Amino acid sequence: MGLFTKTPKTRPVPTHIAIIMDGNGRWAKKRALPRTAGHIAGAKTFKEIAKYCNKIGLKYLTVYAFSTENWKRPKDEVEGIMNLLRDYLKDTENFKEDNIRLKFIGNLEPLADDIKELIKHNEETSADATGLQVQIAINYGGRDEITNAVKKIVASGVSPDEITEDLISQNLYTCDIPDPDFIIRPSGEYRLSNYLIWQSAYAEYWFSDVLWPDFKPKHLELAIDEFHHRNRRFGGV
């Protein structure tokens, strides 16, 4: 609990943590299990980490669950992930008592109709929650998001000199939340994989070799502790 309360005011505290939930496949492979078993284990980790973030008083958590590039995967894996999402959406009553608000970012249009309905239902029923706000990124790609923002801006008929950084931000899926200040990627990969590429301009990064299904609150605690010691200058001195 005390992670934030114990922190002296002069130390930076993250407002918005974004996590690339990576390593499910390798976790399963190590156990000679199908990749989908890794995704099931990863979904459990997500629930545990979201609850932990809520407990320590974090405001925003955004997790990468399925990228615009992940459609390239074998059909049965994609189906497995979509079924897992379906089950999860039917079962999020458990977040209710935690006062967690659930939102989704990405191009949701190509998703199955029942999934879209469930997403809407989950967003609506948790809309009044005042605790942690969780964004789940599904069929999300940073370049796709920026391309869509440009299309919307052009279609609105604004003149070039009216185009500002703020206007672009306002046309992204994340228009109503602050930029992530801390991006975490487990599984030993050191890349963004098209995640929040506009929003991460001044984020701090933390990498770990731990595979996502093995990721525990203690790892997040370690990461946040390191964040407290980062010197964020934003181009200043």
50/62 Cα distance (integer angstroms): 10
Of 19-27, 150-158, 171-179, 209-217: span binding Mg ion (CB under 5 A): 19-27
The catalytic site residues sit at 22, 70
Contact between 30 and ligand IPE (CB under 6 A)? Answer: no
Contacting ligand IPE (CB under 6 A), which of 67, 126, 135, 208?
Answer: 67
Of all residues in this chain, which one has the CB nearest to ligand IPE in the complex? Answer: 25
Contact between 216 and ligand IPE (CB under 6 A)? Answer: no
Torsion of CA 163, 165, 168, 170, to 10 degrees: -110
Q: Provide, rounded to whole angstroms, the least separation between the CB of residue 171 and ligand IPE.
A: 23
Contacting Mg ion (CB under 5 A), which of 22, 179, 181, 204?
Answer: 22
Is the CB of 13 or the CB of 50 nearer to ligand IPE? 50
Taking residues 72 to 101 in sequence order and writing x for each that binds ligand IPE by CB under 6 A, - otherwise, the string is: ---------x--------------------
Contact between 196 and ligand IPE (CB under 6 A)? Answer: no
Is the CB of 7 or the CB of 193 nearer to ligand IPE? 193
Torsion of CA 198, 147, 174, 152, to 10 degrees: 130
Contact between 134 and ligand IPE (CB under 6 A)? Answer: no
Is the CB of 22 or the CB of 145 nearer to Mg ion? 22
Contact residues for ligand IPE (CB under 6 A)?
20-26, 64-67, 70, 81, 187, 189, 191, 193
Contact residues for Mg ion (CB under 5 A)?
22
